[in-house]
Structure 1
Amino acid sequence: MDDLNVAREVAGSGDGPRREIAEKCTACGQCIASCLLLEEIGEAPLEIAGRGATVEEAFSCTLCELCTAVCPAGLSPAGMFAAKRTEAVANGEFPIYDYRYLYPDRELNTCKLYREKYNIHYQELPVDQEGEAAFFPGCTMLTYGSDLTRAAFHHLARLWPRMTLLTDCCGKPLYQMGLKERGENYTAFLKNKLKKLAVKVLITACPNCFYELRNQLAPDGIEVRTIYENWGFGVAGKGLITIHDSCPDRHEGIFARQVREALRNSGYRLVEMEYYGANTFCCGSGGQVSHFRPDLAMALTDRRLEEAGNTGAGILAGYCLSCVLNFARDANGLKVRHVLDLLLGQEKDYSEIKKRAKALYTGPEGEENWRRVMAE
């Protein structure tokens, strides 16, 4: 029996993505050519499925789904790695609790600590109030883009007089970290909250939140929409821009289409990177890999910045703030902006945000902050 058939026979006993890979993968190599992790592993997904993904491999995957986008059969090695994460956490094979500072459902986590220490609040806005429509900026924008959050809220409030602001996370980090049950409990909490507030339309700024919540909330009759959906920004802009597309958007391209239309209507000229849309490279923040494999995350960021620099554009714009923060800390002369900054007339430099976040855990005060955020 040849090696491919052996791998299929072994992997065929698995479930979900691993079984599908065992049945359909031809080891053509297209995913390996696109993915730094698969290149590092040096094996086709069929071989990995045959022996079973390791815990280290699973937590090194950005879960960006580029592998699926380039696969002729639409297979998902990322799905196989995600399933291994869940299995590893359930079996105690990975110390996920060491990363509890990321858990969005904890009383104190790294985002909440940042907001506390840098006095970021939204007391002047209608937070968690009853209303037909709610703006859901997502935890990253709430934490690291407070001015942008306010500007976006006021823009939407002109169209929705009873707009409320929600300061919750979508819960996706819990699922990505393999904490399935915890993620489901958080989703239930979020659903109950929206029901109590009588929210019927949830407007999102983050593609992670949009795709996570759209499917979760559809059965409850809550419509999830994007902030870029024909809201008439009206700010005149100029200059040559290249756009980094966010990984959650790669399969449907809803944000990619809306963002490009809005920027063109505002007067910006667009130039595409070599890899964009469905084939875009991850920025390095996907799947919390910057915490599990910071070396790999940095390599992904550097690859993307080099590609953006090759376009000749003066501005690198992203519609996921996590991506923007990654690029801004080492942009090599590129002006890095969130798309909403451009559309709402904001001028925000994000280059120091990562340093400010790191400073929270530096020195004697940093030790106390770490003790608090990791407290049992």
Structure 2
Amino acid sequence: MTHAAPTKDLHELARRISEGCTECRACQFRCEFLSEHGTPKALADRFLTTGTGRAAAFECSLCGLCSTVCPMGLPLKAFFLAMRRAAMDAGRISLVPYRARLDYERFGASRLMSLFRLPAGGDTVFFPGCTLPGRHPDTTRALLAHLRNCIPDLGLVLSCCFKTTHDLGCQDRFDVRFGALLDRLHAMGVTTVLTACPNCFAVFTEYGRELTVRTVFDVLAEHPVTRDAHVRGSAVVHTPCPYRGDAHIQERIRLMVEDTGLDPEKTRQDGPLSPCCGEGGSVGLLRPELAAAWGAKAVRRADGRVVVTSCAGCVAFLSGHARAVHLLDLVFHPARTMSGTLPRPKGLATYLHRLRLKWRALAHIR
């Protein structure tokens, strides 16, 4: 797993954006970060002429909305990530504000928390990610049981995809850690990874070498969950940023929301235009007011309706301001999800639930 020199990448991207950006402000109009720091052209020109501005990229959520709305098709997200990488390589950024999140990531991949289990003859594993098993334990267990009914020789891998490290621009560290994870999966004979987390899906899709990566929503569409009752009411579907450019996944999720009985109402910020929940890029640890402003946009879009999303992180971030629910909770526990009685552990309890899932898998997946 290799990448070009960050400074070279950044200069090439900056020149492309300086020459291609027309300063139409389509991206700036939708982004708190660009509203404060200027157009992509202004940022690119600043770097090319003075060599400054790299640290500003840590106030960008890396949500990709700017790239989506750019009429010139410029790689704006890649530009801001390259700025982060160059700033990290130059030693200009302290990791102290991000220490808790990096520790959470590291602990998730530790020997205590991790598990690599694949039955004989199997080649597919479920990779639930860090957040879903801890914050949505009942749903994770039900999902795993359903997946194993569909794929009897399905394995389970509990670890971390290291997206925080990646998005902070620590590319060399990411290459080592995610590379070691891939090496272990290949040594096990894994050819397919099923993800429930959009961030894990994005990382495995980009860096997973020859692995086939699918979401659990594909399996659920092929093998629907039988439910005795449906829920009712209007909702808006919040698209997690990693799914922004994938129309197939967006449509799959919308149909699943409809199948629960909820009515997903259309807005001008559906699908690829969904605002970031505010958690992206770890901006909230550096500029909490910017992260809150993005989250506020998502809440205003909901306008009192239920927000359904397929990301456990989005649920956690939005729940303080709106009624946000996870689609998988709705699929497996519709009544308890809508009544608010489905447990959502927090803090240290999330680690206990992740360990319980590991212990259960040790006993049942051989």
Report matched runs for 1:38-117 at 5 Å: 38-41=34-37, 43-52=38-47, 54-103=53-102, 108=107
Counterpart contact for 1:132–1:200, Cα < 8 Å: yes
Q: CA deviation at 1:99?
A: 2.3
Q: CA deviation at 1:13?
A: 11
Report matched runs for 1:221-240 at 5 Å: 222-229=211-218, 230=221, 231-235=223-227, 236-239=229-232, 240=234
Residues 1:330 and 1:164: Cα distance change in structure 2 (over 3 Å): same
Q: Taking CA–CA contacts closer than 8 Å with sequence separation of 6 or more, which of the two structures ends up with the larger relative contact order?
A: 2
Residues 1:308 and 1:135: Cα distance change in structure 2 (over 3 Å): same
1:357 has 2:357 as partner: no
Distance of 2:126 and 2:9 partners within structure 1: 45
One-letter amino acid of the counterpart of residue 85, structure 1: R
Distance of 1:105 and 1:308 partners within structure 2: 30
The aligned counterpart of 1:174 is 165
Q: CA deviation at 1:336?
A: 1.8
Counterpart contact for 1:273–1:308, Cα < 8 Å: no
The aligned counterpart of 2:292 is 298
Counterpart contact for 1:316–1:336, Cα < 8 Å: yes
One-letter amino acid of the counterpart of residue 284, structure 1: G
With structure 1 as the length reference, what TM-score do the two structures score? 0.79
Report matched runs for 1:173-252 at 5 Å: 173-217=164-208, 219-220=209-210, 222-229=211-218, 230=221, 231-235=223-227, 236-239=229-232, 240-252=234-246
Q: Deviations over 1:135-183 (max 9, x none)?
A: 1111111232222211111111110112222111112211101100011
Distance of 1:173 and 1:234 partners within structure 2: 36
The aligned counterpart of 1:339 is 327
Aligned length: 328
Q: SS in structure 1 opposite 2:193?
A: strand
Report matched runs for 1:116-135 at 5 Å: 128-130=117-119, 131-135=122-126
Q: Deviations over 1:196-246 (max 9, x none)?
A: 2222221111111112102322x33x2111111123123342322211011
Q: SS in structure 2 opposite 1:93?
A: coil
Distance of 1:352 and 1:38 partners within structure 2: 38
The aligned counterpart of 1:262 is 256
Distance of 1:59 and 1:14 partners within structure 2: 15
With structure 2 as the length reference, what TM-score do the two structures score? 0.81
Counterpart contact for 2:238–2:307, Cα < 8 Å: yes
1:23 has 2:15 as partner: no
Q: SS in structure 1 opposite 2:117?
A: coil
Distance of 1:23 and 1:70 partners within structure 2: 18
Q: Deviations over 1:323-363 (max 9, x none)?
A: 111111222xxx32100011112535599969x43999xxx
CA RMSD of aligned residues (A): 2.9
Distance of 1:339 and 1:87 partners within structure 2: 37
One-letter amino acid of the counterpart of residue 26, structure 2: Q
Counterpart contact for 2:10–2:83, Cα < 8 Å: no
Distance of 1:297 and 1:206 partners within structure 2: 20
1:156 has 2:155 as partner: no
Unaligned runs of 5+ in 2: 1-7, 351-366
Unaligned runs of 5+ in 1: 1-11, 361-376
Q: CA deviation at 1:249?
A: 1.0
Residues 1:321 and 1:27: Cα distance change in structure 2 (over 3 Å): same
Counterpart contact for 1:133–1:200, Cα < 8 Å: yes
Residues 1:256 and 1:56: Cα distance change in structure 2 (over 3 Å): same
Q: SS in structure 1 opposite 2:190?
A: coil
Residues 1:190 and 1:262: Cα distance change in structure 2 (over 3 Å): same
Q: CA deviation at 1:278?
A: 1.2
Query: Percent identity of the aligned residues?
Result: 29
Q: CA deviation at 1:89?
A: 1.0
Q: CA deviation at 1:76?
A: 3.1
Q: Which has the higher helix share?
A: 2
The aligned counterpart of 2:3 is none
Q: Deviations over 1:291-348 (max 9, x none)?
A: 1221111111122111101xx63x21110111111111222xxx32100011112535
Distance of 2:81 and 2:272 partners within structure 1: 20
